Amino acid sequence: MPDSHALPPHDGPDAAHRPPDGVSDATVKALGKLSEALEVVEHARGLLYGFHRLTGTADLALGEAVDMLRDAGHQKLANDIDQRIVGRNIASGRWTFQLVEEYDDGYYSEFKAAEQRARDSLVDGKRHLFEAGMKERRRSHGRAHHEALPQDVPAANGEDAEN
């Protein structure tokens, strides 16, 4: 009995988004879950970079505020803030750039490499096979805006996209 992701080559995903022969639905689902996990790690990485940028921006603005407090005659308060907070580590011995580098060089790079190794060894490196199968199950075949591939989309004037 053929797997449910096996589709005729003329109706469905392109070759880059079809599992190689003999790959089971369970494998495609497992790789889909692995890809989903990597997407969450990518999102977390983006948030970490946002944290890095926001913290740096805050430190620079704090430095300006300290200068303004000094200019306004509040030396003692400005010195206290300057010494306690401006340029302070956010974690033991680390500024945010060091956290970003540690995340990138450790957890992130190992996670990304593991996902790539899994795809390379199981499905010839193909990406988004689970999503391509989901698209086929969810789209309304033959309906406008439900085309399998971009080249299947008719031109705006009603003619074939190739004309």
- Residue 160 maps to a domain: no
Q: What is the pLDDT of residue 12?
A: 85
- Residue 15 maps to a domain: no
Query: Model confidence over 136-153: pLDDT tens digits?
Result: 999 998 888 888 888 777
Structural domain count of the chain: 1
- Residue 147 maps to a domain: no
- Residue 43 maps to a domain: yes
- Residue 75 maps to a domain: yes
Q: How deeply is 133 buried, as exposed, middle or buried, from its count of CB atoms within 10 A (0-12, 13-18, 19+)?
A: buried
Closest to 39 in 3D by CA, of 127, 101, 122, 99: 127
Whether the Cβ atoms of residue 34 and residue 104 lie closer than 8 Å to each other: no
Q: What is the pLDDT of residue 156?
A: 63
More confident residue, 155 or 146: 146
Query: Model confidence over 77-94: pLDDT tens digits?
Result: 999 999 999 999 999 999
Contacts of 126 (CB under 8 A, 6+ apart): 16, 17, 18, 19, 20, 119
- Residue 7 maps to a domain: no
Whether the Cβ atoms of residue 103 and residue 45 lie closer than 8 Å to each other: yes
CB atoms inside a 10 Å sphere around CB 30 = 14
Looking at the predicted structure, is the pLDDT value of residue 161 above 50? no
Domain that holds residue 114: 23-139
Query: Model confidence over 21-52: pLDDT tens digits?
Result: 999 999 999 999 999 999 999 999 999 999 99
- Residue 116 maps to a domain: yes
- Residue 70 maps to a domain: yes
Q: What is the pLDDT of residue 110?
A: 98
Looking at the predicted structure, is the pLDDT value of residue 125 above 70? yes
